[in-house]
Structure 1
């Protein structure tokens, strides 16, 4: 009989809107199913969490990251992938990965799914050699995330907070700029960029199927350009939350270069990255092993 892999749960103490006692109770149920210890709840910074991830990755067969999209992103940038097998246990709000992995049910059901699941070889996005990710974007997204964080700190959340943040970002914060976008060797000019996405899976937060043709394991980057202002945003939201986004210019390739007329801020896996007027992306084929 094949022995059960050694699991370790790496938990973000700040993900989601849960008290520590409630968070621990849910984690304990998952830990019992996976015969795992729980780590990370005593970390107080991203640096400490990353160090904990590196330490636990050396002691287990599968590192189960409990948190949101940003927590998982922090972990994949802390450990050696693909040598470290990983799994995702959602604890944030509206996580893209919850939808991308087809999860259903609560914490116990997902832990059982991880235990019974198989290993998948998946690709990641190299962001100019500075960071790895699974969904990045330029344009209004950075401004929207900043607004959403303001709402979240005031106790608001969910889809309505995302929509309110997006509207305020569009009308008050974001200033469209021109861009040249090159996918492999094909360049296209965009006069007023609303949003440019580079992804390895179809979903953004709250179940928005932004790039329906994206695939974890096909060795390509999947890109979508929105340049039609508010009508494109509304159309993308309406179709993205129903049948899958039908708006924008879709392309795929191995490498992507974006040259901007004015600096924009990069969004990486639901968090704000850095600002620049030039970005490069390339596919990291088979860069991570995911168990689900």
Structure 2
């Protein structure tokens, strides 16, 4: 069977699995689990000073604003203070202003990019972050079991729910050809290679129209391609040479569509789950797809999973990177490490007991 035919079959399987509402519901049920292991606790505050970092271009931003205002008024608290992001500043100065305001909790109304920027500044402060999911993926919200389709419920959780500490992770990106380097936080999954190519090549119009399903279309287009040479070092151990299509660094593993990409990944275990993907043909991609979809436990040579607190990837030619679904530039070296229990997040009271 030719590779072209197999790619067509993979595309058909992906389209069926993610476009059928019935199929998605079944997948969600099959992959449902908690991505946390530690118990949550009450925040113990009778009155709260509330700050909100809000992305005003999101479709439900106005509804989110009014819902938060009503909830604070009903609780008898002072009016929440809103800090809107801009195209030039996705949240850095806004979260600093929220902390200067003396907020007891900082609500984040936006997508994964806004959440990541705010979390980067809130880490290690002890100030809680409340999630108001307004984006496409809403990855962190899914992994701490905030209902991404219930705006009122997410506001109630952010203001009145329990809270728990979760891990964050940081990735240093270096490009020896340009001399550029940068440091970034991420919360769910970062990566280098094909996954970043898909993120960068997803059609913006299609993404607005169908949401996270747009990533599937881009993913199918990027299945063909050559493996690239890299060296991988885990926890400062000796480097190992590999040929890869993609390497993922997972703080947790639940993604849209009910798929548990990395079943063992927990967001508060102080470790990263490192997934090295190295398929050479459509057969390898098909085997990986089946393993993830049906949660097979057998080892696949084209998909290796390691657990580590620190990972260093070096590559002779620049490769694209991504952080929680946002492109983050090309790199010839990435250094990733976990920061255990560094961020306080509000969660639902019923899941706090799990």
TM category (shorter chain) comes to 0.7 to 0.9
2:197 is equivalent to residue 121 of structure 1 = no
Equivalent in 213, 218, 222 of residue 165 of structure 1: 218
Structure 2 matches for 1:215-230, cutoff 5 A?
215-229=266-280, 230=282
Residues 249 and 72 (structure 1), Cα distance of their counterparts in 2 relative to 1, 3 Å cut: same
**1:14 Cα shift?**
2.9
Equivalent in 83, 94, 105 of residue 52 of structure 1: 94
* Conserved? CA contact 1:65–1:88, under 8 Å: yes
CA RMSD of aligned residues (A): 2.6
Structure 2: runs of 5+ lacking an equivalent: 1-43, 74-78, 173-181, 348-354
Q: How far apart, in 2, do the equivalents of 1:9 and 1:228 lie?
A: 44
Name the structure 1 match of 2:240. Answer: 188
Q: For the pair shown, which has the larger CA radius of gyration, 1 or 2?
A: 2
**1:149 Cα shift?**
4.2
Residues 249 and 7 (structure 1), Cα distance of their counterparts in 2 relative to 1, 3 Å cut: same
* Conserved? CA contact 1:99–1:207, under 8 Å: no
2:190 is equivalent to residue 136 of structure 1 = yes
Deviations 1:37-91 (A, max 9, x none): 25234x4324263212210123211101111111101212345633332121100
2:293 is equivalent to residue 250 of structure 1 = no
2:334 is equivalent to residue 291 of structure 1 = no
* Conserved? CA contact 1:147–1:168, under 8 Å: no
Is 99-108 or 206-215 further displaced after alignment?
Answer: 206-215
Aligned residue pairs: how many?
282
**1:235 Cα shift?**
4.2
* Conserved? CA contact 2:198–2:222, under 8 Å: yes
Q: TM-score, normalised by structure 1?
A: 0.85
Deviations 1:125-164 (A, max 9, x none): 12127111122111111111122144447x5433442111
SS in 2 for 1:251: strand
**1:114 Cα shift?**
2.7
* Conserved? CA contact 2:64–2:109, under 8 Å: no
**1:169 Cα shift?**
2.6
Name the structure 1 match of 2:153. Answer: 109
Q: How far apart, in 1, do the equivalents of 2:116 and 2:305 lie?
A: 24
Residues 87 and 26 (structure 1), Cα distance of their counterparts in 2 relative to 1, 3 Å cut: closer
Structure 1: runs of 5+ lacking an equivalent: none
SS in 1 for 2:223: helix
Q: TM-score, normalised by structure 2?
A: 0.71
Q: How far apart, in 2, do the equivalents of 1:69 and 1:241 lie?
A: 24
SS in 2 for 1:113: helix
Is 138-147 or 109-118 further displaced after alignment?
Answer: 109-118
2:323 is equivalent to residue 280 of structure 1 = no
Name the structure 1 match of 2:65. Answer: 27
Residues 48 and 239 (structure 1), Cα distance of their counterparts in 2 relative to 1, 3 Å cut: closer
Is 269-278 or 121-130 further displaced after alignment?
Answer: 121-130
Q: How far apart, in 1, do the equivalents of 2:290 and 2:223 lie?
A: 17
* Conserved? CA contact 2:250–2:272, under 8 Å: yes
